[in-house]
Amino acid sequence: MQARNRTPLLGRSAPLPAAPAQAQLDRVANPHRDTDYVARFTVPEFTCLCPITGQPDFAHFVIDYVPAQWLVESKSLKLYLASFRAHGAFHEDCTVAIGKRLFALLKPKYLRIGGYWYPRGGMPIDVFWQAGRVPRGVWLPEQGVAPYRGRG
């Protein structure tokens, strides 16, 4: 989680973190705390490594959250997600760990992450995690990623 004395990544050069645990995630104040709304990040080119074979795995992530006090700063999120490129972990571990870390940092009213993984061994493994409750009256759109059918 973000240390209070760190300089935010926004506005300065920052190297790619070597591992997710070393990545700094920054948050900024939500300027619309009086309004419930959904913020969405779509990550169509997520990459990590299979922890057994070391071969690359690819996913399309959709992250939706209803902020309370905090928003995630997008540059730090991009660097955090890119830090998985050399990280070995199963699909379930990556998806749930990302969701839990964001939820712990932001303390949103609601957060969900959909990990739509491309096939490994001929079988796609899609992973979904959520926490919190969607506030009454909030429009939460479908994630819009089709089930795997050759993705073509």
Please tell me which residue in 50, 64, 93, 126 is annotated as part of the active site: 50
pLDDT at 30: 98
Residue 81 lies in a domain: yes
Helices (H), 62-107: 74-82, 91-106
Residue 73 lies in a domain: yes
Q: Is the pLDDT of residue 3 over 60?
A: no
pLDDT band at 120 (very low <50, low <70, confident <90, very high): confident
- For residues 28-53, give the mean pLDDT: 97
pLDDT at 146: 84
List the one residue out of 72, 102, 68 whose CA is nearest residue 10. 72
Residue 57 lies in a domain: yes
pLDDT band at 32 (very low <50, low <70, confident <90, very high): very high
Q: Is the pLDDT of residue 66 over 60?
A: yes
Residue 17 lies in a domain: no
Report whether 93 contacts 55 (CB < 8 A). Answer: no
Q: Is the pLDDT of residue 147 over 80?
A: no
pLDDT at 98: 98
pLDDT band at 151 (very low <50, low <70, confident <90, very high): low
- Write out the H or E segment, with its range, that includes residue 129: strand 126-132
Please tell me which residue in 26, 48, 57, 64 is annotated as part of the active site: 57
Domain that holds residue 103: 25-125
pLDDT, tens only, 67-117: 999 999 999 999 999 999 999 999 999 999 999 999 999 999 999 999 999
Annotation says 94 is catalytic: no
Residue 135 lies in a domain: no
The CATH number that applies at residue 65 is 3.30.1130.10
Annotation says 126 is catalytic: no
Residue 18 DSSP symbol: S
Residue 152 lies in a domain: no
| Phi/psi-derived region of residue 110, left when phi > 0, alpha when psi is between -120 and 50, beta in every other case | beta
List the structure tokens of 151.
């993705």
Residue 148 lies in a domain: no
Report whether 27 contacts 72 (CB < 8 A). Answer: yes
Residue 47 lies in a domain: yes
Distance CA 6, CA 73 (A): 14
Measured in degrees and rounded to the nearest 5, phi and psi for residue 125 equal: -125, 105
Q: How far from chain centre, in Å, is Cα 42?
A: 9
pLDDT at 93: 97
Give the mean pLDDT of the chain: 92
Number of domains comprising the chain = 1
- Torsion, Cα 123 129 135 137, to 10 degrees, reads 0
Which residue's structure tokens are 């700063």? 73
